Amino acid sequence: METTKKSNQNKLINAGLAIVAPLPSILFYLAFLHNYTNPNHCLSSLWSWCYNHPVLLTFVLFFLNINVLFWTIAQLQSSHWMIHPYWPAVPIMIVYYYATHPTGNYNPWRSKMVIILTSIWSLRLSHNYFRRENWQWGSKEDWRFTDLGHQYGANWWWISFFTIYFSQQIFLMGVTLPYYIIHTIEAPWSIWDFVATAMCLTGIIVAYFADTQLHEFRTMNAKLEASGKSVIPILNAHLWQYSRHPNYFGEQLWWWGLGIFAWSLGQGWAFIGAFVNTLCLAYVTTLVEERMLKQPFRAEVYREYQKTTPVWIPWFKSSSLKETKDKTI
């Protein structure tokens, strides 16, 4: 009873922290919007800097509010859970910063479309996170962070700042560069905006169904295990029979589609963020597959799955899985 009460208290604390955590940067930015036109304000030089450096302003706010604050909270709680649910929230804040910054100059229809798409993407990813965590705040940290903690031991407390927080800042600032370009170049809506919109929506839909199918698979296995029955080694149905990681494929479509918005405005260099995202997902894919192969009850079936099913881009199997079909779903 006492353990349950303490657990509920921790959940309430984590929920409160998650709500309050982004307020420093939000309140600061609102103060900037309210005061930047007042030359007699005591912080006029600071407001002037914020006005002239929108990208650096975003970088500094992210560094102080996400990196420093979230890392500090993680040290106090001995858990790096908070960064994960904020992965879908940060792009929403960044796109609104650029859309409302006083130096913005953009096509309002393109801006609205990108904000709507980002909101849908964020809701999809947030829903998947909380569904996976049984609708709890901070129940556990990402297993990759836990593995890194074991790897680095006593030095993890300071290494975690760079491997989890600062690295994700560089990453997120890169993939969200199209937001800045979209809100600094005014150009008519073009056919490429339709292409980018379709690609982004396709990525969101593919990722949603892939994650839902994976969630249902895990739920079914949990019920089988609870009833004392053998679990099914791998998911090899629906989207997962055409790709080993359709959720990652959908996520890549989203970021590359966002890059097309910037490319259509003559700023193809913004694809660097999507490219780095692909490299990161390649590394994550390797970690996930290594983990699968370390589990004896699914290693053999998964090796066969690797031989016949594309890693990302959905396609038909190179050969049948007749021998292992009864072991998969």
Please give the pLDDT value at position 247. 97
Query: Which are the contacts of 97, defined by CB distance < 8 A and separation ≥ 6?
Result: 29, 54, 57, 58, 61
Query: Which are the contacts of 70, defined by CB distance < 8 A and separation ≥ 6?
Result: 21, 82, 83, 86, 165
Provide the residue range defining the domain that includes 165.
Answer: 1-187
Please give the pLDDT value at position 7. 67
Residues 247 and 304 in one domain: yes
Residues 180 and 283 in one domain: no
Q: Which of 187, 222, 252 is a domain's end point? A: 187
Residue 328, helix vs strand vs coil: strand
- pTM > 0.85: yes
Residues 17 and 158 in one domain: yes
Please give the pLDDT value at position 326. 45
Please give the pLDDT value at position 321. 46
Residues 249 and 177 in one domain: no
- DSSP class of residue 67 equals I
Please give the pLDDT value at position 319. 57
Q: Which of 152, 187, 222 is a domain's end point? A: 187
Residue with tokens 């859309």: 99
Residues 320 and 296 in one domain: yes
Q: Nearest to residue 95, comparing CAs of 74, 78, 116? A: 116
Residues 203 and 180 in one domain: no
Please give the pLDDT value at position 325. 46
Please give the pLDDT value at position 3. 61
Residues 173 and 215 in one domain: no
Residues 236 and 138 in one domain: no
Residues 30 and 61 in one domain: yes
User: Looking at the chain, how many residues does it have?
Assistant: 329
Q: Which of 157, 187, 217 is a domain's end point? A: 187
Report CA 231 to chain centroid distance, whole Å: 29
Quote the number of domains for the chain.
2
Residues 206 and 328 in one domain: yes
Residues 212 and 114 in one domain: no
Q: Identify any residues that bridge with 234 across adjacent strands, giving them in sequence order.
A: 328
The torsion region of residue 238 among left (phi > 0), alpha (psi -120 to 50) and beta comes to left
One pLDDT digit (tens) per residue for the chain, 329 residues: 566 666 677 888 888 998 999 999 999 999 999 999 999 999 999 999 999 999 999 999 999 999 999 999 999 999 999 998 999 999 999 999 999 999 999 999 999 999 999 999 999 999 999 999 888 888 788 888 999 999 999 999 999 999 999 998 998 999 999 999 999 999 999 999 999 999 999 999 999 999 999 999 999 999 999 999 999 999 999 999 999 999 999 999 999 999 999 999 999 999 999 999 999 899 999 999 999 999 999 999 999 999 999 999 999 877 544 444 444 55
Q: Identify any residues that bridge with 328 across adjacent strands, giving them in sequence order.
A: 234
Q: Are 98 and 54 in contact (CB under 8 A)?
A: yes
Residues 135 and 274 in one domain: no
